[in-house]
Each structure stands twice: as C-alpha cells, then as structure tokens.
Chains A and B, each alone.
Chain A
Amino acid sequence: MKLLLIEDDADLAAYLVRGLKEAGHTVDHAADGKGGLFLAAGGNYDVLIVDRRLPGLDGLSVVKTLRGADVKSPVLFLTAQGGVEDRVEGLMAGGDDYLAKPFAFAELLARISALARRPPLSEQTTRLAVADLEMDLVKRTVTRAGQRIDLQPQEFKLLEYLLRHAGQVVTRTMLLENVWDFHFDPKTSVVETHVSRLRAKVDKGFDSELIHTVRGAGYSLHAPDAD
C-alpha cells in the first residue's frame, strides 16, 4: 500500500517508516503540515497517517483542507490526546479513525489495513459470509454449514464486526471501540472472554476454525485456507 505519514517527531517517524516498510508498504514522510498537505494533494495515497499536533499548520486543519479539496484518501489521526472529545473533533474534521499515543505497532498496522480495505458504503449489505458461515443482517440469524447458531446480541455484534473485516487483523482496541463503544482500556478481559464464547459457538464442533488469534495483535476471521 502507498502511505503518507505526517509526523513531526523525527524518532517516532523514523521508527514508523521503517516498520511500515518492513510490513511491505510504500511510505512517504512529511515533517510538518504544509509539506504533508503538498504531498497529499499530489500523490494518490491509500491511507494518510496524520499527527494532530504539528508545527505550523496542525493536523486537523490539514485534513479539513484536504477534504475541502476533495481528497478522499482515508485518514488515521495520531494523537497524544486520547479524550473522547478530541476523537469526535478529529472524526468531524474528516478523519476516519483515531489512534492515541502511545500505541502498539501492531495496532497501527491493523488499523491501516482496516481503513484501506474499508468497502465503499456497505450499508446496503444484508448478508455477510465467510466460507460456510453466513449472517443475515435483516433476520438477525447466523448459520454455519446450514446449521443455525444462536447468538446473544453482543455476540452477534462482535461476529458482524469480524465478518465485515474478514481477512484483516482486528485488534482488541478496535473491538472495544466498535462493538462495546468503550473508549478506554478495561482492566478485565472483556474481549478475550467474549471472543472465546463466540468461538465456542461458531467454531466448536466444526471441522475448521474461522476465528484466529493473531499473536501480539488481535484476531482475524478468515477461511481456513486463506493464509
């Protein structure tokens, strides 16, 4: 993927550029808002990674300007301020996701993939499927190999999110934010417990596992032969 990183902290930027390149991405880097705006306006990037606090033109203004100029590349904000209000402000300015510093590199990778592969407005979708697992969003039913699986509302929401991001790595934080609307880090293993319950219903008793644990990163739902 072709990425643009707008980050003024030289150490962090160097670390991120190296990591992203090792993960197989092409990365351009700008150290301030103006340079970032210049690059973003010219190149066709799959994802923009924008620090909110930048010297001169700040990240929020950069994204507002880009959106005003009809640049549609998805934007991931990086910030030292992780408050809910800041997050809302970033999303209102045209950002697509928000990651508070400090973050694990795996978290950043997962979010970049999720953003780049975000399907164009899939709200009309009524049916999600991976391998022999099917979800009917209208009837709110789930079947695997034609067999009905009964899910609690939260399990249904969790599986829906995994299905919508099938084939991608989904981190614990992404699940907390999108399934439970928790914008903080709970001290207990909420995600792990619910995923293991979901696994017991979706995978147990079937010949192949669909929900996979990605060590040090999160989870991924995909067909058994996908990797």
Chain B
Amino acid sequence: MRLTRTEGFRLTTLFAGIFLLAGGIVFALVYWISSQALEDQVRVEIRREASELMQPRPTAEGLMMRIRIKLAGSGHFHYLLVGPLDNRLAGDIAALPQAVGWSRQALAGGETEDRSEKNLLVWGERLPNGNRLWVGASLQRVSEAQEAIRSAFGLGLAAALVAAVAGGVMVSLGFLRRVDAINRTTRAIIGGDLSHRVPVSGSGDELDHLAQNLNAMLARMENLMDNLRQVSRDLAHDLRTPLTRLRQKLESASREPARREAEIAAALKEADELLDVFNAILRLAQIEAGQPTFAPVALSGLLSGLADTYRPLAEEQGRFLQARVEAGLMVSGNHALLTQMFVNLLENALTHTPPGTPLEIGAARAGRGVRTWIEDRGPGIPAHERDRVLRRFYRLEASRSTPGSGLGLALVDTIAQRHGLRLQLSDAGPGLRVEIFFPAAAA
C-alpha cells in the first residue's frame, strides 16, 4: 500500500509508538505510587482502629464486648481475638493469621468478596494478657482505585493512538495528493506541454518551495524552448534571402566573365554578412551557456573611453555625442561583455537614427547601485514594440533597410540578464532612452 510507504505515515507510526511507550511508563508509575499511597492510608486507619479498641485498656471480656459492638455497627473493619491456645474469642476473620504484624487474609465467609483473593489487610498484636488481636480492613478501595486508573489510562491511550493514526493518515494523504499533483505536472511536461505549472498551496512550506523552484525552472526551460523555436524559424527565414543572393552572384560570375570580379567581390561581402549573423548567434549561445568570470570593472573609465571612441564617428555624421559619466563608478561584471553591451547600444543609436541626431551616454549613482543610460533624439520606438525589439531577429519596419542582423539588442538583453541587470527602454521625448541598472556598485 502506497500510504504506508510515505514519510508522513512512517513518522506518525514512530511517534505513536514513542507516545505509547511513554504513556505506559507514566501509567506504571501512577499505578504503583497511588496503590502504595492508598494502601498506606488503609494501614494508618487499621492502626488507629486497633489503638482505639485498646484505649483505655479493657479487660479481656471488655475487649470481646467492644469487638462485638463494632461488628454490629456499620464500620468496615474486621476483627479477630484469639486466646493463648489459639481459641477464637471473638471476631469475623475466618482464618487464623500465622503471626502478628502485617499480613493478608481472605475475608470471612458470607462476605461478597471473592474468597480466593487475600483481599484483607490485617494487623496483629500480642496483648499483655497473652491474647492476640488482629484488626483488618478490606483493600477493595485500593483495587477499585487501581481499576479506575487502569481504565482511564486504557481509554486515554487508545483515544490518543486513534488520533495519531488518523492524523498520520491525513497528513500522508495530503502529502501524497500534493506529490501526485507534481507528478501529474511533470508527466504533462514530459508529454510535451511546457506550459503546465506545479500547484502552489500558499502555505509556504517545503513542498511549496519545491513547487516554486520547479516552476521557476519550468519557466526558464519554456523560455529557452521558445527561443530555440523562434531562432530556428528566424534562421531559416533570415538566411534564405542572403544565401539566395550569394548563389545568384556566384552564378552570374560563372556565366558572365566580364562581371566576374565585381560579382565575386559582392559574393564575398554577402558571405561575410552571413558569417556575421552566425557569429552573432554563436556569441549569444556562448554568453547564455558560458560561465563568464566576473571582476570589478571601472565603469566610468569604460564609458568615457567608449564615448571617446565613438565621438569621431558621431561627428562624421554631424552628431553631437554627449558624455555625462560620474567619476569613480565601479561595478562587478565581465569587462569584455559589458564593453560589447554598451558598444551595441551606441551603435544602435548611431545606425538607427538620422544623421545629425544628438546622442547622450551617461552613468550616475542611484541609491546603492548605478544607473547608466544611452539616449538619442531620434524617432524612438513605439511603446508596444519595445519588448519585441529585444527578441532575436526582430526588426522594426523602419529599420528593415539599414544594415544589421536584428541580434544587437538581443545580445544586449542576454548580457544584461547574465549580469542580473535591469534593462529598460523608454521614451526620451522624443527619442529612445535605454537604461541599464546595476543593482549594487562594487566596493
């Protein structure tokens, strides 16, 4: 049975066992101590009765009289007075105890008690005149109390055991139900539907943590699968055109000797562009799969260096490239990747805005982190397109005619993700503002 194999059930059984053992020990202690206490009390009462009979000291006949009176009354004591020759003088205890002192006797006949049980506690003493007196009392009270303790413990333990087993079954069934839900989800995913998610109960327990982690893993996998599907589709689509052009050029070169040189040069250029696309895809894959080494990076130096590198290019296009970089900013990251990320953004701004459009690159402390930005005064990107431009091969209609693989911003996004940076595209009114937030400045 599956139920008995669950961890919940196993633990319940273990704890029920431990509980029973502890209960048993407590029962034994209570039983023994209370029996002793009750019996001691009976002894005290017997001694008191015996001394009451002897105070003040009566004659032999007087004592016999007192015994008879007591027996006729409603007291619960039993007596026996025996002469020196073991002759019974008075009393209702059937058998003659062997010695004075404490002993146990069966009760006299005619009593309701079970005779086989020596249920009578007796105390005997030798009197000065040679007679012996025994006084006894029934231990029925003690056995009744013992019986009560036994049944109370029995009932209590049984009830606790039932509760423990029921609780264990419930916990185990709940656990099994949730594990079953996880299994159903995984089976659905193995079946090919990556959109399933493990239900989260909201109680914040270990199973919930497991479910949340599984869901995060699934989301990442689904994302990767989507990417892969998208990339394969886009590759097929985006590479067919340049490959066709390459083929046409080579064909024309082989047919028309006069144009050979020009066509081969054009074919080489076409091949280079194809290689560029492949390199960009490879680079994306490398960055996604690799474990880049992180080190403190002097961000201010990197950004002002890039501004110096690109200012001449901007000026050639009649642009003004403004750098507003706060000095002394350090972040943690991979220098080569961060360089490529900012270069891609700068080149994007340079290629996708009309000549003469001013640009700005900047960085400033923001709280505990650093905010960097690159903005232009160009046409910008419509709000509903801003998420899409980060996708691979996605290109705005307006930029179809400009050179580019459609992978530049995807690469920026990937590098930002590998660094745990937040990338935000917004309207610079007019123009595009790309902001990258570093969560914490490096020490």
A residues lining the B interface (CB < 8 Å): 81-85, 102, 152-154, 180-190, 193-194, 197
Contacts and interface: CB of A to CB of B under 8 A. Distances in A.
A154 B309 contact: yes
Contacts of B308: 152-154
B83 interface: no
A187 B292 contact: no
A194 B312 contact: yes
5 contacts: A82-B282, A83-B290, A84-B337, A154-B308, A154-B309
A39 to B, nearest CB: 31
Given A153-B308, A193-B312, A193-B316, A187 B282 contact: no
B151 interface: no
A188 B350 CA distance: 8
B251 interface: no
B310 interface: yes
Contacts of B343: 182, 184, 186
> Which 6 A-B pairs rank lowest in CB-CB distance, beginning with the nearest?
A84-B336, A83-B286, A193-B312, A187-B347, A193-B313, A188-B347
B286 A184 contact: no
A187 B283 contact: no
Most chain-A Cβ atoms within 10 A of its Cβ — which of B286, B292, B335, B337? B286
B339 interface: yes
A152 B307 CA distance: 13
Interface of B: 275-276, 279, 282-283, 286, 290, 292-293, 305, 308-310, 312-313, 316, 334-337, 339-340, 343, 347, 350-351, 403-404, 408
Nearest to A88: B293
A188 B339 contact: no
Given A82-B282, A193-B316, A184 B340 contact: yes
Contacts of A84: 292, 334, 336-337
Given A83-B290, A85-B290, A184-B340, A190 B279 contact: no
Nearest to A86: B286
Contacts of B305: 154
B403 A183 contact: no
Contact of A197 (B286, B312, B335, B340): B312
A81 B287 CA distance: 12
A194 B306 CA distance: 13
Contacts of A188: 310, 313, 347, 350-351
A183 B309 contact: no
A185 B340 CA distance: 9
B290 A184 contact: no
Contacts of B309: 154, 180, 190, 194
A211 B313 CA distance: 20
B342 to A, nearest CB: 11
Contacts of B334: 84
A181 B339 contact: yes
B24 to A, nearest CB: 67
Contact of A182 (B292, B339, B403): B339
Contacts of A189: 313
Contact of A190 (B276, B313, B403): B313
Contact of B404 (A83, A153, A187): A187
A181 B310 CA distance: 14
Contacts of B335: 181
Contact of A185 (B279, B293, B310, B337): B279
A114 to B, nearest CB: 21
Given A190-B310, A193-B313, A197-B312, A85 B292 contact: yes
Given A81-B286, A84-B336, 5 more contacts: A82-B283, A181-B339, A182-B339, A188-B347, A189-B313
Nearest to B334: A84
A182 B305 CA distance: 12
A85 B336 CA distance: 10
A152 B276 CA distance: 31
B213 to A, nearest CB: 28
A197 B315 CA distance: 11
A117 B286 CA distance: 34
